[in-house]
Amino acid sequence: MLSPVLLMVALLTVLTVTMESDHWTADQQEKFCTWQCLKFTLQWPGSFCLGLKNSSQCRIPPNIQTWTIHGLWPSKAHTCCRCWPIFHSDLKELDPELSQLWPSLLKTQSSFLFWKDEWIKHGSCAACVEGMNSPLRYFQICLKLRGRFDIDRALEDAGIKPSCNQSYPGREVLVQVKIPLSQNLTLGCHHKEDQGAEPVPPQLWHTFPGHPCPQDSPVFYFPINHDHPHQPCD
């Protein structure tokens, strides 16, 4: 079932970036910049609410109809620099596109606070790479990656469509897709830091909180329900 998706990903045009940002000191690079792999993570709004302890806090903006961005995460690197602030004005030129492709799905969190949280947790670590060495550049890269990984089209081409009745081999609910990338943003990562975490080539199907799908139980790909996001099939 996954082969059309894997084929689509394998044929994508990839981005390249220059290594080593001048923003980091030698000590900071030695401490925080040893990662070699990233995961570009997308989430399906139709299933997102089902993983929340308080699903009533979920919202899906009316304009959201596709997979949205969750983040671009350097492996085994987390919150590298709280001293690197981000302001809404930093992302002003990207705001319309980010609001469409990277919205907050929580009533208690604005989209900017979601972006700020992702920058602090993950972007500050990705900033070791010159092509992502500012909030603007980091989010520009994420948007470009989203344009290249057309998960909606790949699933549709494979005959996998949102449904309350149709299930597919896998786990219970399809929530996330994680796409492993090398530090230069080429597809896949074979570095030893990721060995044992997930197989290579990677599973593209993950469920909250991110475990690979087994093959002996059904998985549902629920439709988006804007009026009742926590009850997609009511």
- Residue 78 annotated in active site: no
- Residue 122 annotated in active site: yes
Identify the active-site residue in 118, 198, 211, 230: 118
- Residue 130 annotated in active site: no
Identify the active-site residue in 88, 97, 122, 228: 122
Among the residues of 83-198, which ranges form H helices?
95-101, 111-118, 124-126, 135-148, 151-157
What does the alpha-carbon distance between residue 102 and residue 147 come to, in Å, rounded to a whole number? 12
List 58's β-bridge partners, or say none.
Answer: 106
Ranges assigned E (strand) in the chain: 37-43, 68-74, 167-170, 176-182, 206-207, 211-212, 217-220
What does the alpha-carbon distance between residue 60 and residue 48 come to, in Å, rounded to a whole number? 10
Identify the active-site residue in 30, 70, 93, 156: 70
| Residues with active-site annotation | 70, 118, 122
